[in-house]
């Protein structure tokens, strides 16, 4: 050991015992077999075998950063949430970006929705807003989510993502037409995580101090401006730098170029939901900005990188069921399913005590639940009683619900969502297409035609079914797509 080494900390085992030799395993003589008594060797190998937790089934590939959310407008007339209670109030946040379909080793620059999962470390506990970079999604009922994701993942026979599966499902699920138009348009491949919008996507409930309820949608508009990649640019970037988005985010924060988003909401009085022209709880639909204008409420800035990707990004968990007083769910069927599925996925993937990890635990308050034991439990509750009620000064309920009750009626059973005056699966997709410039429409059609050309030659029915859905959204849209696909398929 050199004099310089004496000033360095001592390498130890997990139990804290000093390690004498980390270069050579213990053997029976210089050339003999290994000894089972070598604690350092077996601890290292056993830990290495278990270093990877199961990757997320969806949103596996991601990057994250810490930041702050600053309130810029008085919203107390709509919500009693404390972290939104006064102009200038700041709340620490953690934001995880992700792609949806790719696995942990996939490239960033691909055509795929981007996850936008935001954790607010509020004084009333953590509030998780789990959204995407699109305001809509492919399906409207959580029961279809496993089916949809199976079409995006590897085929059980070929081991690859198959255009047959993707377009077969989309063609048979016409409610996907709106989101597919988003996905294959210019914004389908963001240039970076910094250059895209974020959306809560679902409808949520806000409740004010008087108990009055409102429906709300969240929008986070990038202050860096929208920048996208063409399919050709993305193919080159994905091959040359598969970590492009993660690298861009980290390096921007390192150089002090902190990315930011301006936060807006749309507010709908509860009484207006029943007669709104679109079902306000349908995840495949947007609320018209003409009907419910954007209201600016805050500024989100990312200003600190994680120190350890595994501990803080891979082990971060988000659940739409993590609400705070003044904010709650809506009858959105996709949201209702996610209230269960996300937390359940994390219990399986990370462990029953995942919420006790530093990135997940509340920062401004202490969690005082009666949960004990299980994997990762650190004994933080000591000898405190783990039941309620108790007479040992244990935590007690408030008696005040976090959000307003939702009025329900009718018989239990499986029901299709009620149709509103202008509800169908194609009108908003057509509106989106007609909002695009001629050049944007051309790129959208080309992107879709390239993808549809990958469908098996003997499954022309899948191609025609898909084209028909786009034709129902807009006749010109379908006509141009049919011509482009015909060109590519000869």
Domain boundaries, the chain: 62-136+191-356, 427-489
Q: Mapping DSSP to helix (H, G, I), strand (E, B) and coil, where does residue 27 land?
A: strand
Residue 1, pLDDT > 70, answer no
| DSSP code string of 71-129 | E-S--TTT---GGGSSTT-EEEEEEEEEESSS-TTS-SSSSS-EEEEEEEEEBTEEEEE
Burial letters for 268-290: b for 16+ Cβ neighbours within 10 Å, e otherwise? bebeebeebebbbbbbbbbbeee
Residue 308, pLDDT > 80, answer yes
Q: Mapping DSSP to helix (H, G, I), strand (E, B) and coil, where does residue 184 land?
A: helix
Residue 233, pLDDT > 90, answer yes
Token pair, residue 156, equals 């059980």
What is the mean pLDDT of the segment spanning 353-359? 91
CB 337 within 8 A of CB 108: no
Token pair, residue 255, equals 């150089």
Residue 43, pLDDT > 70, answer yes
Q: Per-residue pLDDT tens for 105-141?
A: 999 999 999 999 999 999 999 999 999 999 999 999 9
CB 198 within 8 A of CB 220: yes
Measured N-to-C along each axis, helices 177-184 and 438-452 cross at an angle, to the nearest 10 degrees, of: 100
Would you state the torsion angle of the CA atoms of residues 129, 131, 135, 138, taken in this order, to the nearest 10 degrees? -140
Q: Per-residue pLDDT tens for 48-98?
A: 788 888 999 999 999 999 999 999 999 999 999 999 999 999 999 999 999
The reported pTM is 0.92
Q: Mapping DSSP to helix (H, G, I), strand (E, B) and coil, where does residue 2 land?
A: coil
Residues in the chain: 490
Distance CA 476, CA 441 (A): 10
The residue among 220 and 344 whose pLDDT is bigger is: 220
**How many Cα neighbours within 13 Å face the side chain of 338?**
27
CB 114 within 8 A of CB 194: no
Residue 454, pLDDT > 90, answer yes
DSSP secondary structure letter of residue 310: I
Q: So what's the pLDDT on residue 176?
A: 97
What is the mean pLDDT of the segment spanning 257-282? 97
Distance CA 424, CA 25 (A): 68
What is the mean pLDDT of the segment spanning 407-423? 86
Enumerate the active-site residues.
Answer: 59, 132
**Could you tell me the pLDDT band of residue 365, with boundaries at 50, 70 and 90?**
confident
CB 336 within 8 A of CB 355: no
Distance CA 474, CA 448 (A): 15
Maximal C-alpha separation, the chain = 84
Q: So what's the pLDDT on residue 220?
A: 98
Phi, psi of 62 (to 5 degrees): -155, 175
Share of the chain above pLDDT 90, in %: 74
What is the mean pLDDT of the segment spanning 232-256? 97
Measured in whole angstroms, how far is the alpha carbon of residue 183 from the centre of its chain?
A: 16
**How many Cα neighbours within 13 Å face the side chain of 310?**
5
Burial letters for 353-388: b for 16+ Cβ neighbours within 10 Å, e otherwise? bbbbbebbbbbeeeeeeeeeeeeeeeeeeeeeeeee
Phi, psi of 298 (to 5 degrees): -175, 180
Average pLDDT of the chain, as a whole number: 93
CB 100 within 8 A of CB 148: no
Q: Mapping DSSP to helix (H, G, I), strand (E, B) and coil, where does residue 123 land?
A: strand
Instruction: Name residues whose C-beta falls within 8 Å of residue 483's C-beta, 6 or more positions apart in sequence.
Output: none
Measured in whole angstroms, how far is the alpha carbon of residue 266 from the centre of its chain?
A: 20
Which CATH architecture does the domain made up of 62-136+191-356 adopt? Beta Barrel (2.40)
Q: So what's the pLDDT on residue 2?
A: 65
Q: So what's the pLDDT on residue 4?
A: 66
Q: Mapping DSSP to helix (H, G, I), strand (E, B) and coil, where does residue 440 land?
A: helix
**Could you tell me the pLDDT band of residue 5, with boundaries at 50, 70 and 90?**
low
* Selection from 165, 256, 184, 193 nearest residue 445 by Cα: 184
Q: Mapping DSSP to helix (H, G, I), strand (E, B) and coil, where does residue 198 land?
A: strand
How many other C-beta atoms can be found within 10 angstroms of the C-beta atom of residue 102? 21
Measured in whole angstroms, how far is the alpha carbon of residue 239 from the centre of its chain?
A: 25
The DSSP bridge pattern shows strands 204-207 and 213-222 to be: antiparallel
CB 102 within 8 A of CB 112: yes
Q: Per-residue pLDDT tens for 164-206?
A: 999 999 999 999 999 999 999 999 999 999 999 999 999 999 9
Token pair, residue 19, equals 């390690």
């Amino acid at each position: 050991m050199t004099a310089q080494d004496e000033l360095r900390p001592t390498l130890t085992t997990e139990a804290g015992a000093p390690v004498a030799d980390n270069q050579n395993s213990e053997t029976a003589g210089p050339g003999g077999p290994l000894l089972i008594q070598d604690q350092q060797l077996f601890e290292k190998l056993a830990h290495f075998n278990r270093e990877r937790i199961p990757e997320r089934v969806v949103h596996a590939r991601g990057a994250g950063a810490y930041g702050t959310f600053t309130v810029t407008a008085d919203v107390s007339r709509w919500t009693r949430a404390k972290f939104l209670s006064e102009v200038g109030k700041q709340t620490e946040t953690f934001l995880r970006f992700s792609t949806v379909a790719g696995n942990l080793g996939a490239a960033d620059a691909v055509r795929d929705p981007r996850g936008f999962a935001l954790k607010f470390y509020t004084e009333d506990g953590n509030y998780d807003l789990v959204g995407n970079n699109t305001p809509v999604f492919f399906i409207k009922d959580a029961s279809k989510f496993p089916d949809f994701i199976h079409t995006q993942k590897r085929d059980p026979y070929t081991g690859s993502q198959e255009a047959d599966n993707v377009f077969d499902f989309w063609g048979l699920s016409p409610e996907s037409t709106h989101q597919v138009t988003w996905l294959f348009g210019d914004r389908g491949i963001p240039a970076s995580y910094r250059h895209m919008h974020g959306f809560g996507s679902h409808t949520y409930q806000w409740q004010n101090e008087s108990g009055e309820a409102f429906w709300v949608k969240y929008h986070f508009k990038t202050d860096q401006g929208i920048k996208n990649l063409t399919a050709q640019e993305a193919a080159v970037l994905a091959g040359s730098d598969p970590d492009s988005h993660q690298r861009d985010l980290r390096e921007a924060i390192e150089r002090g170029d902190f990315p930011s988003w301006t936060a807006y909401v749309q507010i709908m009085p509860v009484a207006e939901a029943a007669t709104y022209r679109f079902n306000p709880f349908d995840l495949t639909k947007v609320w018209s900005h003409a009907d419910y204008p954007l209201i600016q409420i805050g500024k989100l800035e990312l200003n600190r990188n994680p120190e350890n990707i595994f501990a803080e990004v891979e082990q971060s968990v988000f659940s739409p069921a993590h609400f705070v007083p003044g904010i709650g769910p809506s009858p959105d069927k996709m949201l209702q399913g996610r209230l269960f599925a996300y937390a359940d996925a994390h219990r399986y993937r990370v462990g029953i005590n995942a919420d006790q990890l530093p990135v997940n635990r509340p920062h401004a308050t202490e969690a005082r639940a009666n949960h004990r034991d299980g994997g990762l439990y650190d004994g933080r509750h000591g000898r405190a009683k783990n039941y309620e009620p108790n007479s040992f000064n244990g935590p007690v309920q408030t008696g005040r619900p976090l959000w307003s009750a939702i009025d329900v009626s009718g018989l239990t059973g499986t029901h299709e969502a009620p149709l509103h005056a202008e509800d169908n699966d194609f009108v908003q997709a057509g509106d989106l297409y007609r909002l695009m410039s001629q050049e944007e429409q051309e790129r959208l059609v080309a992107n879709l035609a390239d993808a549809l050309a990958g469908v098996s030659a003997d499954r022309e029915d899948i191609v025609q079914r898909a084209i028909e859905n786009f034709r129902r959204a807009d006749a010109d849209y379908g006509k141009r797509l049919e011509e482009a696909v015909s060109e590519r398929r000869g």
